[in-house]
Chains A and B, each alone.
Chain A
């Protein structure tokens, strides 16, 4: 203390007031590992964006279908194959506009983009390549002798579709059966997210417990448990789904859920086993054993929390791949059964009208991409946040 007072005045240091020290040593919670992770994760704009995107998709998928006003299965065949972006033709005899769909159906559209009805066709003159329609008693002609087909005004002149408007009745258009694509996409996202949740649960519960027990127990238990894992992982998931479909007699969502829950945890089990093997020799685990803690307590308190990094990284890679597996199985026809909308079945449905209505494929495909990208960005961000040493990328 005397030393502080005898400092030369030009040093510029002053003794701290006595109260300041007490404030500085007041108990404060330390920054935990997870606070560190969250801090680093926040720095990753892409990962945050991915997370926000997933959140948005989840909210839309859960609440959305009841807001669109359509059911995923209700068909409106008179308004089939209408895209989201309409090229409209204006005729002098009507206030409304007209949209010609790829199958030469003429649809009446209000100036603000609402679909009114399909105009009734009365005849088709194949020689002149001209169709006639009945518009409130008057006859309307559609000339398809040249591309693109166009309506004819009362003078017989082709009226090009010049004005454009967004389809406000069906924001993302309708499919070949006249079902609302927006509603169906949201339902598809719902199924994708449900698959993600199932995959996550299965991995987090069965995978962690199985792998943890195997790795921590070691010896013969480990060997036999891992042989089971080897056997399970040699059989492709597709085969399980087909077999379960046969056994259940029906297929759909349930068979995918059962297939995922029975076999989709093996990768996680392997990762957790490896972690448990390396962690169980660490001194803090030995310390817990010298204290007398049982295997369950050690797994719960020491092994799993310390393996959480690799577990989360594995989970964020397994979840998007589960989503893709569901979409793929549905696409090839052994997944979600027809009236239900899965992004995979929607893609498949769109194939028949792909040339005329590519949006029917693009929309569900884009949804799959966005979901998988979002999960992958979150996973990348999580991995970097969990292990800062891995961050040194060029």
Chain B
């Protein structure tokens, strides 16, 4: 690519966990490749257990990657020691899913938000720390009257704001948001999403925004990656992904998004995906989605489809596209509607 250097580049990132019972590892993350440009929001979507958290935690080096590369602003941080990693930790922060578990219940808000300063700027005088904490709190819509309170005195939304303030205080460039809103009330979700968007505008932040359904990232993401069982199956600009999803899994996910207007639901929509996610210890051969794919063909069990560009940076990993017997200039939109007819024709 000749585009400016991406802020984050993940190449064939793989993370296997030892699985207690068998010799086979848990393939939580298997060869994930994507890039995140400075200033954009990259949405990462997939069902529970598909490896989204593992992906974020491996990027931020909470987990040591089994294989692959992580580049932050061009620097390979994959095998840096924790000590060498420290300057990079300032530039990369994380917001966690559970606002109750991500704040230490024994610490005051001030100490929680000031913790990054205690690690990275331990020489800072106390008054200045308090000042910085107050600034960070005001950025997330909390005030100094909350400084001496404990986390359990706050609502979920407020707690998530405290977590965001902690992530902001070191002025990072990249923030990994691991399902920051899925534990919150719907009304609060919008507030937090708006806050994150506002902060992105004000502070030039780059986000990797994780969610388990596509509706949540719709208003946040510039580009979206769809994950299934430890692999990316489709990456595209958000408008393209929502208007003409290519991968049968993405289509199924979109079908499962609830529609605000019940009348709209009466229009023929492809059914949601059925069946359970296979175990990441024993993923299906070839395409991992084939066991649940309504369009699976023999080749799907033989070869694992690679993520290939179908044009305009719309990448998909599926044998329906660019595979043998497929004309290279086959317009993707037609293909999509084809599939949707297929899916729509499926009885259930």
Q: Give the interface of A toward B (CB within 8 A).
A: 25-33, 282-284, 286-294, 297, 301-302, 305-306, 308
- The A-contacting residues of B in range 162-200, CB under 8 angstroms, are 163, 166, 170
Q: Give the interface of B toward A (CB within 8 A).
A: 57, 60, 62, 82, 85-86, 89-90, 92-94, 96-98, 101-108, 115-116, 118-120, 144-145, 147-150, 153, 163, 166, 170
Residues of B within 8 A of A25 (CB): 145
- Bound form: Cα–Cα A302–B96 in Å: 17
- Contacts A33-B150, A301-B104: A288 and B115 contacting too (C-beta < 8 A)? yes
- Contact A33 B106, beta carbon cutoff 8 Å: yes
Q: In chain A, what residue has the closest Cβ to B150?
A: A30
Residues of B within 8 A of A30 (CB): 108, 148-150, 153
- Contact B96 A29, beta carbon cutoff 8 Å: no
Measured between C-beta atoms, what is the minimum distance from A254 to chain B in Å? 38
- Contacts A292-B86, A292-B119: A27 and B145 contacting too (C-beta < 8 A)? yes
Contact of B101 among A31, A283, A290, A293 (CB under 8 A): A283
- Contact B62 A289, beta carbon cutoff 8 Å: yes
- Contact A283 B120, beta carbon cutoff 8 Å: no
Dominant secondary structure of chain B at its interface with chain A: mixed
Q: In chain B, what residue has the closest Cβ to A281?
A: B101
Q: List 28 A-B contacts (CB under 8 A).
A: A26-B145, A27-B147, A28-B148, A30-B108, A32-B108, A283-B101, A283-B102, A284-B101, A284-B102, A284-B103, A286-B62, A286-B102, A288-B115, A290-B60, A290-B62, A290-B94, A291-B89, A291-B93, A291-B115, A291-B170, A292-B85, A292-B119, A293-B118, A301-B115, A302-B104, A305-B104, A305-B106, A306-B105
Residues of B within 8 A of A26 (CB): 145
- Contact A293 B147, beta carbon cutoff 8 Å: no
- Bound form: Cα–Cα A128–B150 in Å: 85
Residues of B within 8 A of A28 (CB): 145, 148
| Of A287, A293, A306, most B-chain CB atoms within 10 Å | A287
- Contact B89 A292, beta carbon cutoff 8 Å: yes
Given A25-B145, A29-B149, A291-B116, 14 more pairs with CB closer than 8 A: A27-B144, A27-B145, A28-B145, A32-B106, A282-B101, A283-B98, A286-B57, A286-B62, A287-B96, A290-B89, A290-B93, A291-B93, A301-B104, A305-B107
Q: In chain B, what residue has the closest Cβ to A291?
A: B116
- Contact B108 A293, beta carbon cutoff 8 Å: no
Measured between C-beta atoms, what is the minimum distance from A223 to chain B in Å? 14
Q: In chain B, what residue has the closest Cβ to A34?
A: B106
Measured between C-beta atoms, what is the minimum distance from B92 to chain A in Å? 8
- Bound form: Cα–Cα A286–B96 in Å: 9
Contact of A284 among B93, B104, B148, B170 (CB under 8 A): B104
Measured between C-beta atoms, what is the minimum distance from A25 to chain B in Å? 6
Measured between C-beta atoms, what is the minimum distance from B33 to chain A in Å? 23
Q: In chain A, what residue has the closest Cβ to B89?
A: A292
- Contact B97 A283, beta carbon cutoff 8 Å: yes
- Contact A293 B96, beta carbon cutoff 8 Å: no
Residues of A within 8 A of B93 (CB): 290-291
Contact of A293 among B115, B148, B170 (CB under 8 A): B115
Residues of A within 8 A of B153 (CB): 30-31
Residues of A within 8 A of B119 (CB): 291-293, 297
- Contact B94 A287, beta carbon cutoff 8 Å: yes
Q: In chain B, what residue has the closest Cβ to A308?
A: B106
Q: In chain B, what residue has the closest Cβ to A279?
A: B104
- Bound form: Cα–Cα A289–B63 in Å: 11
Contact of B102 among A29, A287, A289, A293 (CB under 8 A): A287
| Of A25, A28, A32, most B-chain CB atoms within 10 Å | A32
Residues of A within 8 A of B107 (CB): 301, 305
- Bound form: Cα–Cα A28–B153 in Å: 12
- Bound form: Cα–Cα A301–B118 in Å: 11
- Contact A292 B120, beta carbon cutoff 8 Å: yes
- Bound form: Cα–Cα A334–B103 in Å: 51
- Bound form: Cα–Cα A31–B94 in Å: 28
- Bound form: Cα–Cα A39–B134 in Å: 30
Q: In chain A, what residue has the closest Cβ to B148?
A: A29
- Bound form: Cα–Cα A108–B85 in Å: 86
Nearest 9 A/B pairs, CB to CB: A30-B149, A283-B102, A292-B89, A305-B106, A29-B148, A283-B101, A283-B96, A284-B104, A27-B145
Residues of B within 8 A of A292 (CB): 82, 85-86, 89-90, 116, 119-120
- Bound form: Cα–Cα A38–B114 in Å: 27
Residues of A within 8 A of B85 (CB): 292
- Bound form: Cα–Cα A45–B87 in Å: 54
Measured between C-beta atoms, what is the minimum distance from A164 to chain B in Å? 58
- Bound form: Cα–Cα A155–B38 in Å: 118
Residues of A within 8 A of B105 (CB): 33, 306
- Bound form: Cα–Cα A284–B115 in Å: 11
- Bound form: Cα–Cα A301–B97 in Å: 22
Measured between C-beta atoms, what is the minimum distance from A84 to chain B in Å? 50
Residues of A within 8 A of B62 (CB): 286, 289-290
Contact of B104 among A289, A294, A306, A308 (CB under 8 A): A306
- Bound form: Cα–Cα A287–B56 in Å: 12
Residues of B within 8 A of A305 (CB): 104, 106-107
| Of A292, A294, A301, most B-chain CB atoms within 10 Å | A292
Residues of A within 8 A of B118 (CB): 293, 297
- Bound form: Cα–Cα A282–B102 in Å: 7
- Bound form: Cα–Cα A292–B153 in Å: 27
Residues of B within 8 A of A32 (CB): 106, 108, 150
- Contact B150 A287, beta carbon cutoff 8 Å: no
Residues of A within 8 A of B170 (CB): 291
Contact of A31 among B97, B145, B150 (CB under 8 A): B150
Residues of A within 8 A of B82 (CB): 292, 294
Measured between C-beta atoms, what is the minimum distance from A384 to chain B in Å? 19
Residues of B within 8 A of A291 (CB): 89, 93, 115-116, 119-120, 166, 170
Q: In chain A, what residue has the closest Cβ to B143?
A: A25
- Bound form: Cα–Cα A25–B145 in Å: 7
Measured between C-beta atoms, what is the minimum distance from B61 to chain A in Å? 8
Measured between C-beta atoms, what is the minimum distance from B130 to chain A in Å? 12
Q: In chain A, what residue has the closest Cβ to B90?
A: A292
Measured between C-beta atoms, what is the minimum distance from A303 to chain B in Å? 10
Residues of A within 8 A of B166 (CB): 287, 291
- Bound form: Cα–Cα A297–B115 in Å: 10
Measured between C-beta atoms, what is the minimum distance from B116 to chain A in Å? 5
Residues of B within 8 A of A288 (CB): 115
Measured between C-beta atoms, what is the minimum distance from A349 to chain B in Å? 49
